[in-house]
Amino acid sequence: MGSKLAWVMLTQRDRLRVRVLGGKYLRGKSSWEAKAATIDSWLWKSIVHHREALLGGLCYIVGNGRDILALRDPWLSAIAGFKPTLREGAAAIMDLKVSDFLVVNERCWDEAKLQSVFTPDSVAAILQIKLSPDDQPDKKFWPLEPSGEFLVKSVYRNLVATRGSVMSPLRQEDWKDLWSLKMHDRLKLLLMWKVGWDTIPIKCKVAERIGRQDSDLLCSLWGEGMETLHHLLLVCPFSRAIWCESHWQINIVAFSNGSVVDWIKIIIHPCESK
């Protein structure tokens, strides 16, 4: 949800909720620069938190070039990082727009100016961009998908590729198999994604985040035992009764000695657990 909202905030400025959130939280800054204050809503904090995950996939389609900062914004989908590289000795003028590298009153690149600022590889990538004959506005797209449409799952794939699989509770192959399971997408999101990444706001997690270890940490459902993710899903008698009466009819007691991640792996690959 956070990644999707962050994408909408960055790419669809005319939508009503974007204007409302922008009027309240941007405080005169762009959607990229605005920070989240302690007193801000959880929704805005989530948008700011997930915004960084979009940096590796957001890119511009060059129109008139007036909305794209040539040295700071991603606009070269043909090269890694989507940004051009300065040539040695060139001045880093951060407020240069892509439109500054177009021939005045013509829809073509100023090759001499490009060569004076960027490396040969970057210049070659820029010259591959076909400019529209009309004065079209610049647009954002998601080059990590062939369609150019933003997908939350491609954000995850990009994070794994750029940061490595060590940070992930599951192997990349396991996540791929997860998304292929024949179950409702909401179950995949809740039982696998949120549980796997331990993002469900149970009492112990919230107390850890806000630094209030002296608060009531007993299970909200049963009133006994610390409300950890492991307890809530696998140990709590109330939860066990729900699992037994569900369509899956899972004997959750058999999982109580393992970790939550082990439980997820068994659901993804039930045959391997026999």
pLDDT tens for each residue of 190-246:
766 778 777 788 888 888 777 666 668 898 888 888 898 888 888 899 888 888 887
Residues of the chain with pLDDT under 70: 1-2, 56, 156, 159-168, 191-192, 211-215, 248-250, 271-274
Confidence (pLDDT) at 167:
61
Task: Give the chain's domain count.
Answer: 2
Q: Does residue 245 lie within any of the structural domains?
A: yes
Q: Does residue 229 lie within any of the structural domains?
A: yes
Is there a single domain that holds both residue 64 and residue 135?
yes
Q: Which of 141, 175, 201 lies at the terminal end of a domain, its last residue?
A: 141
Q: Does residue 136 lie within any of the structural domains?
A: yes
Helices (DSSP H) in the chain: which residue ranges?
2-11, 16-25, 42-51, 111-117, 120-127, 152-163, 172-179, 185-187, 195-196, 203-210, 229-230, 237-245, 260-268
- Residues 60-83 pLDDT 10s: 999 999 989 898 888 998 888 888
Is there a single domain that holds both residue 200 and residue 269?
yes
Q: Which of 141, 174, 197 lies at the terminal end of a domain, its last residue?
A: 141
Is there a single domain that holds both residue 191 and residue 124?
no
Is there a single domain that holds both residue 65 and residue 126?
yes
Beta bridge pairs of residue 42: none
Confidence (pLDDT) at 211:
65
Is there a single domain that holds both residue 193 and residue 266?
yes
Q: Per the structure block, which two tokens stand in for 82?
A: 């989507």
Q: What is the pTM of this model?
A: 0.53
Overall size of the chain counted in residues: 274
Q: Does residue 87 lie within any of the structural domains?
A: yes
Confidence (pLDDT) at 108:
92
Q: Does residue 44 lie within any of the structural domains?
A: no
Contact between 141 and 148 (Cβ < 8 Å) = yes
Task: Please state the φ and ψ torsions of residue 38, each to the nearest 5 degrees.
Answer: -60, -35
Q: Does residue 250 lie within any of the structural domains?
A: yes
**Total Cβ atoms within 10 A of residue 209:** 9
Q: Which of 141, 172, 196 lies at the terminal end of a domain, its last residue?
A: 141
Task: Please state the φ and ψ torsions of residue 139, each to the nearest 5 degrees.
Answer: -130, 155
Task: Give the torsion sign (CA, 41, 44, 49, 50).
Answer: positive
Confidence (pLDDT) at 129:
93
Q: Does residue 116 lie within any of the structural domains?
A: yes
Q: Does residue 5 lie within any of the structural domains?
A: no
Q: Which domain holds residue 116?
A: 59-141
In Å, the largest CA–CA distance within the chain is 74
Confidence (pLDDT) at 112:
93
Is there a single domain that holds both residue 63 and residue 135?
yes
Enumerate residues 6+ apart whose C-beta is below 8 A from 261: 169, 170, 196
